[in-house]
Structure 1
Amino acid sequence: MSTTDAVAASDAQLSQGWHTLYTLHGRIEARLDHELQSKHGLSLREYCLLSTLRPQHSGEGGHLRMAQVAEAVVLSQSATTRLVTRLEDRGLLTRYLCATDRRGIYTDVTPAGLALLAEAEPTHFAVLREAMTDAAAQPELEPLVRAVAGLHAEPAASRS
């Protein structure tokens, strides 16, 4: 096999792998969005934003700037600003200026936002488990499900 053929085969394999990952992601995202929306009035993007912001804390490095939030929820800065505004209008988030850099804007989850997130989490986890179980039953998706399940698994050596 020539180098050109090997590269073409590798590219085709990479493309097929990406398509499989994209399919798995799309199926799970659609299910999560539908269930969160119907049961809690919360889109998956809104849920992810609240979940991303919840662990913030007072003190140095305790808050994410809007650019960091945008990166964490995989949206443009303008789309993130619109999403934050929507949640702020619903009373789920608040925004304020950074005390040390007046150009910086921070966002905090309100008690109402924390309550809604706590209410929605069991739905999120149940739908995610179900969607991953369904995907694992499909031979082309099973290796990805296994890989995702192992992403943050504790290494065997540190469990003892």
Structure 2
Amino acid sequence: MKVAVELEAKLQENFGWSLNEFYLMYFLSEAPEKKLRLQQLESMVGLSQSAVSRLVSRFEAKGCGALQRTTCDDDRRSIYTSLTPIGQEKLDRAQVTVNEVLFEAFPRTEVKELLEDMLRLSPQQQP
């Protein structure tokens, strides 16, 4: 848990982001077309749908232009959140900070193994 606390502190200090906001941006960056439905983000970030919706709203309220919401053409009730080019640029800078914290906390070989394990357990990879 110490690493998560350190990540949260560095992201907050350098970018004004919570760790959940970083996860949100990261999962969007990895998605096809860099967009996901709120329901999909719910399971990835590990929050309820209303909490994810509030997270996206808070992020949008910061006015940084990193995210964009659009209505699904097939189902008007579904809303997509997408990562904009500005958001990708911000995420790329935040990723440097995350990597620095992880490399400080774990030897590089441990980080590589941890990331490989996380990718194997990713909700996107499960059937």
User: Is it true that 1:44 corresponds to 2:19 in the alignment?
Assistant: yes
How many residues are treated as equivalent by the alignment?
Answer: 115
Report the CA distance between 1:76 and its aligned residue: 1.0
Report the CA distance between 1:116 and its aligned residue: 1.0
Give 2:85's aligned amino acid: P
Deviation sequence 1:76-128 (CA, Å, 0-9, x none): 11110010011122222111110111111100112221111111111101101
The equivalent position to 1:129 in structure 2, one of 103, 106, 110, is 103
Residue 68 of structure 2 aligns to a residue in which SS? strand
The equivalent position to 2:67 in structure 1, one of 67, 73, 93, is 93
Q: 1:147 to 1:46 in 2, by over 3 A?
A: same
The equivalent position to 1:84 in structure 2, one of 53, 56, 70, is 56
Residue of structure 2 equivalent to 1:116: 90
Q: TM-score, normalised by structure 2?
A: 0.78
Q: 1:150 to 1:87 in 2, by over 3 A?
A: closer
Residue 64 of structure 1 aligns to a residue in which SS? strand
Tell me how large the CA RMSD over aligned residues is.
2.4
Report the CA distance between 1:63 and its aligned residue: 4.0
Report the CA distance between 1:57 and its aligned residue: 3.2
Larger radius of gyration: 1
Moved over 4 A (4+): none
Residue of structure 1 equivalent to 2:123: none
User: Is it true that 1:66 corresponds to 2:38 in the alignment?
Assistant: yes
Give the unaligned 5+ runs of structure 2: 120-127
Deviation sequence 1:32-66 (CA, Å, 0-9, x none): 011111112222111110010113334xxx74221
Kindly indicate whether the alpha-carbon contact (under 8 Å) linking 1:31 and 1:131 is maintained by their aligned counterparts in 2: no
Kindly indicate whether the alpha-carbon contact (under 8 Å) linking 2:35 and 2:83 is maintained by their aligned counterparts in 1: no
Give the unaligned 5+ runs of structure 1: 1-25, 137-144, 154-160
Q: 1:113 to 1:147 in 2, by over 3 A?
A: closer
Kindly indicate whether the alpha-carbon contact (under 8 Å) linking 1:93 and 1:113 is maintained by their aligned counterparts in 2: yes
Task: Provide the C-alpha distance between the structure 2 equivalents of 1:146 and 1:98, rounded to a whole number of angstroms.
Answer: 37
Q: TM-score, normalised by structure 1?
A: 0.63
